[in-house]
Amino acid sequence: MENLKQELKEKIIKDLNLEDVDVADIANDDPLFGDGLGLDSIDALELIVMLDKDYGIKITDPKEGKSIFESIDTMAAYITENTKK
Amino acid sequence: MDKKRYIQSYCRIEGNQVSLNGKVMYKDAAEEVKDFFKGLYKHMEISYRKFFKMDNLSKLAFLASEVLSKDIGEYHRNTAIVLSNKAASLDTDREYQASINNPDEYYPSPAVFVYTLPNIGIGEISIKHQLKSENAFFVFNEYNASFHHNYEELLIKTGKSAAVLAGWTNIDADNYEAFLYLVSEIGEIEHTEQNLNKLYNN
């Protein structure tokens, strides 16, 4: 799980062009949106594409996104849970 | 009596070099466009996270507007933006097309898609400087001083705008060129078609 969290941080920085952010700047429970990492609605769409492209997980209900993308912790938990199936 | 309009400040960005009012203010030897833009961004000590998300056409327009802003101060809140170029957003359109060419690897990027319009750079400048003003983007084969002059004069003369941030921002792969200027009622170079051509061709 810790490896996955590290991987997610690296992917988010790379895929979302967060050039002024380091992996060490992102705590596992930091909010990804709003006051935390400050991601926006386009970033949310990119995260949905990332889950599909890199982990084979399709989010069919957009309402799910809010809880899945709350933090690195919640993303990692969702990916772990859904790739077991 | 009708007041005269002036080219208050102007800048050029091309060939790894930036000039402001005719004087070179920055140059480097970056081999890639994105590295040159990043170097200029850091040189000007801009702190604006959204910059890194922009496509190259928007970065070019944004950086040119920042160069002018360093010279003139903050833009008047009623500053119109009128830009033009030769290839619209073709540079980014190609990147987006590449992401959807292969049906087996069909992952269209929302972050690239939002930049597949040439006027998005105008939006980026407007957001940064909180401008809620007139704006337009035109496509010509080459910089059209006559058209620009008439349009910019009209915006100020009719009271639609207090000033106009205008010019040519074109990018096609490794070739980029920005000629941006601010038209206002302050300055020394009169806003005429001849002067626009002269500054552009200098």
Residues from chain B that touch A25, judged by Cβ atoms under 8 A, are: none
Per-residue pLDDT reduced to its tens digit, B3-58 = 899 999 999 999 999 999 999 999 999 999 999 999 999 999 999 989 999 999 99
pLDDT band at B1 (very low <50, low <70, confident <90, very high): low
DSSP string, B5-67: -EEEEEEEEETTEEEETTEEEEE---SSHHHHHHHHHHHTT---GGGGGS-HHHHHHHHHHHH
Class of A2-84 per CATH? mainly alpha
Residue of A nearest to B114 (CA): A42
Residue of B nearest to A43 (CA): B111
pLDDT band at A35 (very low <50, low <70, confident <90, very high): confident
* CB-CB neighbours of A33 under 10 Å: 18
Q: Is the pLDDT of residue A26 over 60?
A: yes
Catalogue all structural domains in chain B, each as residue range(s) with its CATH number.
Answer: 6-201 (3.40.47.10)
**Whole-angstrom Cα distance, residue B10 to residue B180?**
6
Residue type, B193: E
Chains A & B: contacts with CB separation below 8 Å: 28
Q: How far is CA A77 from the centre of its chain?
A: 11
pLDDT of the residue at B95: 93
Q: Say if B76 is an interface residue toward chain A (CB within 8 Å).
A: no
Facing A17 at nearest CB: one of B53, B107, B114: B53
Q: Is the pLDDT of residue B144 over 80?
A: yes
Q: Is the pLDDT of residue A85 over 70?
A: no
Q: Say if B104 is an interface residue toward chain A (CB within 8 Å).
A: no
Q: Which ipTM was obtained for this model? A: 0.81
**Whole-angstrom Cα distance, residue B28 to residue B17?**
7
Q: Is the pLDDT of residue B126 over 90?
A: yes
Mean pLDDT of B107-128: 94
Which sequence spans correspond to the domains of chain A?
Answer: 2-84
CA quadruple B120, B50, B16, B60: dihedral, nearest 10? 10
